[in-house]
Amino acid sequence: MDLRRLFLTRSLLCLLFFAFVLGLYVTFSLKRDMLENHTETIVAFVRNAIHHHLSAKDFEAPKLKTEDYESFELAIRDISEIPQFLRIKFYDRHGRIIWSDEQELVGDRFTANRDLDRALNGEVVAQYSRLSKKENIYEKGFNYVLEAYIPLYFGDSEVFAVAEVYYGVDGLFERIARTRVAVWIITLASFLALYLLLSKIFFNASSLIIKQKEDLERTNLALEKTYLGTIKALVSAVDAKDHYTKGHSVRVAQISLLLAESLLVDDKTRFEIQQAALLHDVGKIGIDDVILKKPGRLSPEEWEIMKKHPVIGATILEEAETLSKDLINMIRSHHERFDGNGYPDGLMKDQIPLGARIIAVADAYDAMRSERPYRMAKTPEEILSEFEDASGTQFDPMVVEALFGIADQIEKVIYAASKNNMTHQFIATTRLSAE
Ligand SMILES: [Fe+2]
């Protein structure tokens, strides 16, 4: 649900942001287009009025009210026919005011005016600007004006004069403001509709994913149960074959787990060691009961048959195709010796998988700790003494050292196992701890 909320809030913010930017862009474009059209009209109108009433001669010297004033007034009357005309000034080609309604300015020269300079170089310069309060009073209550510098030509291609005109544009700006609101409303409405549509699609898709995930979890649970059931059946089958080794597989798995933890084995390998330890004697299913349940010591021939159980076990589990090659190799090699005198492959030292070296120690510990038809169970002290002797020959010294470090914990496990039949619980815990 958090993911959904995250998607909805972020996508809403994105949509609002883009709607805002789009609204700004549209109104900006609108304003620019209006300025262009407005300026074109005014330029044409002003030039037409000037050419109709004035000549190059009129712009040769500053005009005061007393001299040649009438022709300017006629031209300005035409120019003021465009609504909201405010004022006009004329400059000669040197930037000097030739005519202005502010008589005191006539004859002044403006050299620091950038817009005027551009116009003197032949460019029409126009912009909308906001008037300051002081100007506002003077300019008959307008808030916004169009200010344009218009180059004037008389016959040749050189700029002969420049007209500076002001028109009020409040009505225009009100239209732009109304248009901007309309654009924002339309854009927001469209984006919200798109957002709702997207949200619905997202909700449907995420509901489907959640349902599929639940189905998958149910299937996994069913598979898990099947897997655990299979392991339990196999372990029980081995236990049932040999009365004297009842519970042996589970105890070996528990001891192997303690050893693996003590040796800081990674999670994946530790899980495989647990599973391999549980199934290490599964090959005994293929050994004749006469040999398996023989009360006395085995003859050399019988012993040769007994020695086949690691390979039989590995072969059975290979058929299952669900267990990893590493895990199966641990089962195959659990009777290898560190000095290379073990079976079935005579591997030595690091050639033997670590899991198999661990299981070998755990297997021997539990076997010595259990009573057999031909001998009593050994004490922990006797067993540790035997491991000391066999370290580096039968067993990996590193694993034996780990065993000495956790001997007390192992005894607790064996004691607990003797009190309870924990096969099922242990298998379940083993599986879950690896998840
Ligand atoms: Fe074995």
The pLDDT, as a whole number, for residue 434 is 44
Quick one: which of 376, 330, 371, 364 has its CA closest to 246? Answer: 371
Enumerate residues with CB within 5 Å of ligand 1 (an ion).
281
> Does the global pTM surpass 0.75?
no
The pLDDT, as a whole number, for residue 432 is 44
Measure 336 CA to ligand 1 centroid, in angstroms: 10
Measure 139 CA to ligand 1 centroid, in angstroms: 108
Residue 35 Cα distances to 42, 72, 173, 174, angstroms: 10, 27, 11, 14
User: pLDDT band at 15, cuts 50/70/90?
Assistant: confident
CB neighbours (10 Å) of residue 415? 9
Measure 308 CA to ligand 1 centroid, in angstroms: 10
* Percent of all residues in the chain with a pLDDT value above 90, rounded to a whole number: 29
Quick one: which of 147, 151, 154 has its CA closest to 163? Answer: 151
Residue 377 Cα distances to 16, 359, 428, angstroms: 79, 20, 29
Question: DSSP H helical segments within 110-169, as ranges?
Answer: 114-120, 133-138
- What distance in Å separates the CA atoms of residue 335 and residue 331, rounded to the nearest whole number? 9
- What distance in Å separates the CA atoms of residue 120 and residue 128, rounded to the nearest whole number? 20
Measure 309 CA to ligand 1 centroid, in angstroms: 7
Question: String of b and e for 154-168 (b: at least 16 CB within 10 Å)?
Answer: beeeebbbbbbbbbb
User: pLDDT band at 396, cuts 50/70/90?
Assistant: very high
Q: What is the CATH number of domain 222-433?
A: 1.10.3210.10
Measure 367 CA to ligand 1 centroid, in angstroms: 10
Mean pLDDT of the chain: 84
Instruction: Give the pLDDT confidence of 53-111 residue by residue, as tens digits.
Output: 888 888 877 777 665 567 788 888 888 888 888 888 889 888 888 888 777 788 777 76
Instruction: Give the pLDDT confidence of 177-220 residue by residue, as tens digits.
Output: 787 788 778 878 887 888 888 888 888 888 899 899 999 999 98
Measure 364 CA to ligand 1 centroid, in angstroms: 9
The pLDDT, as a whole number, for residue 352 is 96
Measure 72 CA to ligand 1 centroid, in angstroms: 121
Domain locations in the chain as residue ranges: 2-182, 222-433
Instruction: Give the pLDDT confidence of 268-280 residue by residue, as tens digits.
Output: 999 999 999 999 9
Measure 314 CA to ligand 1 centroid, in angstroms: 12
Measure 393 CA to ligand 1 centroid, in angstroms: 18
CATH architecture, range 2-182: 2-Layer Sandwich (3.30)
Measure 113 CA to ligand 1 centroid, in angstroms: 103
Q: What is the mean pLDDT of residues 5-20?
A: 81
